[in-house]
Amino acid sequence: MTLPVLHTDAKKTQKMRNPPQSRTLTFLNIHKLERKDADIQTKVEELEELNQSLRQRDKVKDDVIAQLSDQLVFLSVRLQEIERRQDDGARIRSSAP
């Protein structure tokens, strides 16, 4: 004699036949994953080297800009001194009889 299958038992049977995707086993290609990891690590190292190079280049440029700024200040002061001397010389000549 066979017992009747209840509705809930039928659902359980169906779930056992067709398990959800999250419960299925997957076989990973370890070699492929290791190669991909190595490629990512290489790319990260390249980007870190590029970043360091760009930072160094920025520092050199900042130093050059600071040096040019100092030279500009020096030349501006020097130009003002020359203009003042020329003005003083012109006043002396114009006031002489």
> pTM of the predicted model, to two decimals?
0.52
- So what's the pLDDT on residue 91? 78
- So what's the pLDDT on residue 39? 96
Three-class secondary structure assignment of the chain: CCCCCCHHHHHHHHHHHCCCHHHCCCCCCHHHHHHHHHHHHHHHHHHHHHHHHHHHHHHHHHHHHHHHHHHHHHHHHHHHHHHHHHHHHHHHHHHCC
pLDDT in tens, the chain (97 residues): 555 555 556 666 666 566 555 555 566 788 888 899 999 999 999 999 999 999 999 999 999 999 999 999 999 999 999 999 998 887 777 776 6
